[in-house]
Amino acid sequence: MSDTAIEVRGLTKRYGDDHAVAGIDLTVHRGEVFSFLGPNGAGKSTTVEILEGFRHRDGGTALVLGEDPGTAGRGWRARIGVVWQQETQVPALPVRDLVRHFAGYYPESHDSDEVVARVGLADKARALPSSLSGGQRRRLDVALGIVGRPELLFLDEPTTGFDPRARRDFWSLIRELADGGTTIVLTTHYLEEAEELADRVCVIARGRIRALGAPATLGGRASAEATVGWTVEGRRREAVTGAPTRVVAELATLFGGEVPELSVHRPTLEETYLELIRDDGGEDTAEGSTA
């Protein structure tokens, strides 16, 4: 089995004269959590919908689990799971029965009761979807997305509207799925979510990739200069340096121990992201942590 889950070269999609996707190249490895970031209208959703087989591309090549998503059949579709940004429209069945119903669409599904428990809805197994809270309903969407035992799971804004505790509980579920070998493609506006979960992050703006890499190194974060700050005689001082450890050591010697109000700051993922899309000109709705 290939180590590659997704292989894209020169991917394009036009709407009239507008290039929603303007020549994207990327590779997603099996077992990886891969996150898309970008402002509204950047081309993230269009790219993902092409990879899911729900939208046709105008150019380039795409292989998902070894097949072209534009022509792949039912056997291929049974190997992927999708959790949409909007709630899945479902019959008015109790949670347990609903998950069992969806499991019947797949040749090798998980046990439905195990899935209900896995997403934290065991105590709501007899409840109707209409009676669930927003966070619980989102967990039901995930249950429907994973019951078919997907090799590849697409998550589109999965924690929108979650309170901080529900979001962190959901992150634990995603880590568990990833640890079990599921490849996950995550689209999110929560920068902390991408930093917490993703092995690699892809920033898209105006239909093009602006940066791709591990969250800690994206856009040169790891090698970016740091700002060392301290206070002397009531005045705040700062030094921008590529060697913050040396500067802190020199300050410790100067002050004979503790440095007053010492701080060391490197660019955050949010700062790096905003710089990468600075000239995009579109609306940016990416969010920092609410936790």
**Domain co-membership, 214 together with 231:** no
Average pLDDT over residues 239-254: 92
In a domain, residue 146? The reply is: yes
Find out whether 226 and 264 touch, Cβ atoms under 8 Å. yes
Statement to judge: residues 154 and 212 lie in one domain: yes
Nearest CA among 6, 2, 7 for reference residue 185: 6
Whole-angstrom distance, CA of residue 80 vs CA of residue 77: 6
Residue 246 placed within a domain: yes
The answer to whether residues 208 and 194 belong to one domain is yes
Domain that holds residue 242: 225-265
What is the residue-wise DSSP string for 27-96?
EEETT-EEEEE--TTSSHHHHHHHHHTSS--SEEEEEETTB-TTT--HHHHTTEEEE-SSPPP--S--HH
Residue 291 · residue 167 · CB < 8 Å: yes
Render pLDDT for 15-55 as a digit per residue (tens, 0 to 9). Answer: 888 889 999 999 999 999 999 999 888 889 899 999 999 99
Torsion from C-alpha of 228, 38, 9, 153, nearest 10 degrees: 100
Q: In the chain, what percentage of residues exceed pLDDT 90?
A: 54
pLDDT digits (tens, 9 = 90+) for 171-216: 888 898 899 889 999 998 888 999 999 999 999 999 999 999 999 8
Within a domain: residue 13? no
Q: How far apart are CA 27 and CA 150, in angstroms?
A: 19
Same domain? 42 vs 169? yes
Top pLDDT among 290 and 91 is at 91
Average pLDDT over residues 258-279: 87
* Residue 44 main-chain phi, psi, to 5 deg: -60, -55
Is residue 106 domain-shared with residue 241, that is, in the same domain? no
- Are 35 and 169 part of one and the same domain? yes
Full 3-state SS string of 171-192: HHHHHHHHHCCCEEEEECCEHH
Range among 26-30, 108-112, 126-130 rated most confident: 26-30
Closest-CA residue to 7 (of 65, 56, 47) = 65
Q: Label residue 282 by pLDDT band (50, 70, 90).
A: very low
186, two tokens: 């995550």
Q: Is the dihedral of CA 268, 269, 270, 275 positive or negative?
A: positive
Question: Has residue 280 got a pLDDT over 70?
Answer: no
- Provide the CATH number for the domain around residue 172: 3.40.50.300
Q: What are the two backbone dihedrals, phi and then psi, of residue 36, each rounded to the nearest 5 degrees? A: -100, 135
